Amino acid sequence: MKKTPKKVVSKKSSTAKIKKPTPTVRVSEDSNFLKAIYDNVGFGIVLFDCDVNILKINNTLCQMLGYSEQEIQKLSIAGISHPLDQEKDQKLFNELLEGKRSQYQLEKRYLTKSGNILYGRLSVSIVKKVDGEVKELVAFVEDITEQKEITSKYEAEQSLLQALLTSTPDCIYFKDLKSKIIKVNPAMALKHGAQNPNDLVGKTDFDMFGYEHAISAYNDEQEIISSGKAIIGKEEKEDWPDGRTTWVATTKMPLNDPDGKIIGTFGVSRDITDEIVSKERIRESELLYRSLFENSIDGMFLMTEAVIDCNQAVCEMLKYSREELIGLTPDQFSPEFQPDGRTSHESAMEKISAALSGVPQRFDWLHTTKNGDLIDAEITLKAVSFEGKTLVQAILRDVTERNRNDKIQQALFDISEYAYTASDMFSLYHKIHEVVGKLMSAKNFYIAMYDEKSNMISFPYFVDEFDPPQAPKKLGNGLTEYVLRIGRATLIDAQGDLELRRSGEVELIGAPQAIWLGVPLKVSDKTIGVIVVQDYENEKAFGEEELNILLFVAEQVAQVIARKQTSDEIKKIAEELKQLNTTKDKFFSIIAHDLKNPFITILGFSDLLLTDYSDLSDDERKFYLEEMKKSAEVSHNLLQNLLQWSRSQTGRIEFNPSEIPLASLVKVNLELLETTAARKGITIEHELQNDLIVLADEDMLNTVIRNLI
């Protein structure tokens, strides 16, 4: 408060200029009485004049503000008041002096010595003298700081509560001991189609829900009232009269009065229908996935770096139990290296990491079964969310048979192609060896061919680590002959070989092997040979799979060999025909050359005999006849020689050896050619012992001698 101008209040005036006089406070001038009041009152008292000069201050006010009486008097009323409250205080003070009011009250702030704010309830009244003149003013200051703080906190809490009730999408409700609604928030009113939250007051859940939910909620609330125990986060199914179903997560607690007595319940319900539906869909999806997972014909893994779970198809493929596979990394049931040369561990970790980062993977992989067999697999990896975790789903498809069939088909194609491109049978056999080597171990490989006419077997192709190439031989008692005899594919290990030898079925030929596989080559159910692979160390190098592969290949190889042999036979016949034509031409040339002269001689002498017969003597006629006979014999012998030579050229000559005096045979041939040699002026001499005997076919030897002469 500030000092009031003197024109407003005159000290000399017998009465104050107040429009509406108010009763004055009569204060005893007994100083002892005032002192007793000041000393015992529980609030601050200030006496001041109309000019707001402080006359007296009690100790209570000094203690409240932390100042001494002298310090307060120096500061004045304005000095201890909060600047923002001085204007309204001054206005009321002026109205009091002007007689517009007899007193006034005001809540205002004061500044303590420590710098804190003290909230006070100020009451100001006029103290008059006996004659009614204004003597002084008295102010009572009650410290309401604590009350103000409590009120402020309460108002803040009320504001927060109201904000919570109006802003939250959750339903909040208060119920009495009979589970009737006392109060609800706007969200609950909206949920039940009410225009105003008060529209639901007095209702129960039986008025709003189906019986199933209503009775369940009622029983819960009555249990809370009787036990005092809260229900936290209960999932409740709400059935509605129109047939709908919703789900809420509900927390309910006892509602207590200030004395702690339970007067009802209150609760919060959050709609979790979408969450429940989603969970149910996820659950159904996971059940469906689990069903597909367990019943898939393809192998399926769930894994991170190691296997977390797998289905039965995987166990059947890899020959492991589920318990054995769980916890293993892929490289632990794979060979150390994959066909591309990379280690299984490095390659697997790289592909799993890529799949987890969201990049699906598809690739071929080589796995090892528990019993050591290799299987070709086509693998697909992708990240999946399962039971709240991000995992890699691996689908394993056994493509061993498919790849094997592809290899076999390619092998057959290659063999068929080589049958037409190979220059000779050895080249074809070599190509067949290469093809078989792509399908199985073929370090030791041979093809044996059987000739039924000669009862011999030959080895046109033979590659072996220890044994040298085999020469043709008569049919014996080896494993090759055993297959030829029984006419079916045979897989024989060392023990089986020993048993066959003990039974006399076969005998050991060459180095003993650990495993031997022979398959007959058949054409039109006739065995023409055997194709064989063997291994001297690994008794598991071949099994039923390799037997079936080689059996299938052998069927095609037999046909190819037969076609190739037929083709070669045709070529041979064509060549022989060509040779026969050449022989024919040569034969006719010889006839024209060698038979011409003897026939000329015969014709000449016969003409002389016909024309000069009567003029010739008997000796002359005899001479001519003898010469004609010689020429005829020469022609006959030449013709025999040519026929013999022709038979030798065509391979139809028979071999009949006998002991022959070589000198006599040479002499006969010289006499045969004597006339021709004499005509040409050729002299033929020989130096042969008369007792020289040779073992030969006479016709063949004659042909040789004549050709030499």
C-beta separation of 492 from 515 below 8 A: yes
Cα→Cα distances 687→404, 566, 690, Å: 75, 50, 9
Which carries the bigger pLDDT value, residue 634 or residue 224?
224
Three-class secondary structure of residue 46 per DSSP: strand
Q: Do 72 and 117 have their domain in common? A: yes
Lowest mean per-residue pLDDT among 156-165, 216-225, 498-507, 660-669:
156-165
pLDDT grade, residue 297 (50/70/90)? confident
pLDDT grade, residue 33 (50/70/90)? low
Q: Do 479 and 566 have their domain in common? A: yes
Task: Count other C-beta atoms under 10 Å from residue 84's C-beta.
Answer: 9
Characterize the bridge pairing of strands 134-143 and 389-398.
unpaired
Lowest mean per-residue pLDDT among 117-131, 173-187, 205-219, 651-665:
651-665
Counting DSSP H helices and E strands in the chain, the numbers are: 22, 23
Q: Do 526 and 388 have their domain in common? A: no
Q: Do 130 and 173 have their domain in common? A: no
Q: What's residue 666's pLDDT? A: 84
Residue 26 region, left (φ>0) first, then alpha (ψ -120 to 50), else beta? Answer: beta
User: In 456-543, which ranges are continuous DSSP H helix?
Assistant: 479-486, 494-503
**How many Å apart are CA 211 and CA 535, to the nearest integer?**
83
Q: For residue 594, which of 504, 709, 501 has the smallest C-alpha distance?
A: 709
pLDDT tens column, 140-194: 999 999 998 888 888 888 777 777 778 788 999 999 999 999 999 999 999 999 9
Answer yes or no: is 5 within a domain: no
**How many Å apart are CA 434 and CA 428, to the nearest integer?**
10
User: In 487-595, which ranges are continuous DSSP H helix?
Assistant: 494-503, 544-594
Residue 702 has pLDDT above 70, yes or no: yes
Tokens for 233? 């986060």
Residue 9 has pLDDT above 60, yes or no: no
- Cα 488 to the center of its chain, rounded Å: 43
Give the mean pLDDT of 381-399. 89
Cα→Cα distances 453→478, 484, 567, 651, Å: 20, 15, 20, 17
C-beta separation of 247 from 273 below 8 A: yes
Three-class secondary structure of residue 65 per DSSP: helix
Domain boundary among the residues 570, 605, 640 is at: 570
C-beta separation of 411 from 323 below 8 A: no
Lowest mean per-residue pLDDT among 58-62, 294-298, 462-466, 588-592:
588-592
Which carries the bigger pLDDT value, residue 93 or residue 657?
93
Domain boundary among the residues 532, 554, 570 is at: 570
Residue 11 has pLDDT above 60, yes or no: no
Q: Do 426 and 561 have their domain in common? A: yes
Answer yes or no: is 585 within a domain: no
At 358, which CATH number? 3.30.450.20
Q: For residue 519, which of 475, 493, 480, 545 has the smallest C-alpha distance?
A: 480
- Phi/psi for 427 (5° steps) reads -60, -40
> Which H or E element spans position 284?
helix 273-295
Give the rounded percent of residues in the chain with a pLDDT score beyond 90: 41
Answer yes or no: is 553 within a domain: yes
**How many Å apart are CA 628 and CA 630, to the nearest integer?**
5
C-beta separation of 490 from 478 below 8 A: no
pLDDT tens column, 683-694: 887 777 888 888
**What dihedral do alpha carbons 241, 246, 252, 257 form, nearest 10°?**
-50
Q: Do 266 and 282 have their domain in common? A: no
Residue 8 has pLDDT above 50, yes or no: no
Q: Do 440 and 559 have their domain in common? A: yes
Cα→Cα distances 278→270, 282, 293, 643, 652, Å: 16, 6, 21, 106, 97
Range of the domain at 252: 168-271
The position carrying tokens 């707001």 is 52
Answer yes or no: is 554 within a domain: yes
pLDDT grade, residue 78 (50/70/90)? confident
pLDDT tens column, 475-522: 888 899 999 999 999 999 988 888 888 888 888 776 788 999 999 999
**How many Å apart are CA 512 and CA 534, to the nearest integer?**
10
Give the rounded percent of residues in the chain with a pLDDT score beyond 70: 89
At 496, which CATH number? 3.30.450.40
Answer yes or no: is 407 within a domain: no
Which carries the bigger pLDDT value, residue 419 or residue 279?
279
Q: DSSP class of residue 447?
A: E
Answer yes or no: is 663 within a domain: yes
Domain boundary among the residues 231, 249, 271 is at: 271
Q: What's residue 24's pLDDT? A: 43
Q: Do 178 and 100 have their domain in common? A: no
Q: Do 355 and 465 have their domain in common? A: no
Cα→Cα distances 241→221, 246, 258, Å: 21, 12, 38
- Cα 251 to the center of its chain, rounded Å: 45
Q: For residue 316, which of 366, 395, 370 has the smallest C-alpha distance?
A: 370
Structurally, the chain folds into a number of domains equal to 5
Count Cβ atoms within 10 A of the Cβ of residue 195 and give its class: 0-12 exposed, 13-18 middle, 19 or more buried: exposed
Q: Do 436 and 458 have their domain in common? A: yes
Cα→Cα distances 1→69, 119, 515, 583, Å: 18, 17, 123, 158
Tokens for 633? 């014999």
- Cα 702 to the center of its chain, rounded Å: 86
Answer yes or no: is 359 within a domain: yes
Tokens for 332? 């632990």
Task: Count other C-beta atoms under 10 Å from residue 676's C-beta.
Answer: 16
Q: Do 459 and 551 have their domain in common? A: yes
pTM (two decimals): 0.43
Answer yes or no: is 198 within a domain: yes
Give the mean pLDDT of 320-330. 94
Q: Do 300 and 213 have their domain in common? A: no
pLDDT tens column, 405-445: 888 888 878 877 877 777 788 888 898 899 899 888 999 99
pLDDT tens column, 533-579: 999 999 989 999 889 889 888 888 888 777 777 777 788 888 878 87
Q: For residue 624, which of 639, 638, 637, 613 has the smallest C-alpha distance?
A: 613
Q: What's residue 240's pLDDT? A: 94
**How many Å apart are CA 442 and CA 492, to the nearest integer?**
16
**How many Å apart are CA 497 and CA 519, to the nearest integer?**
16
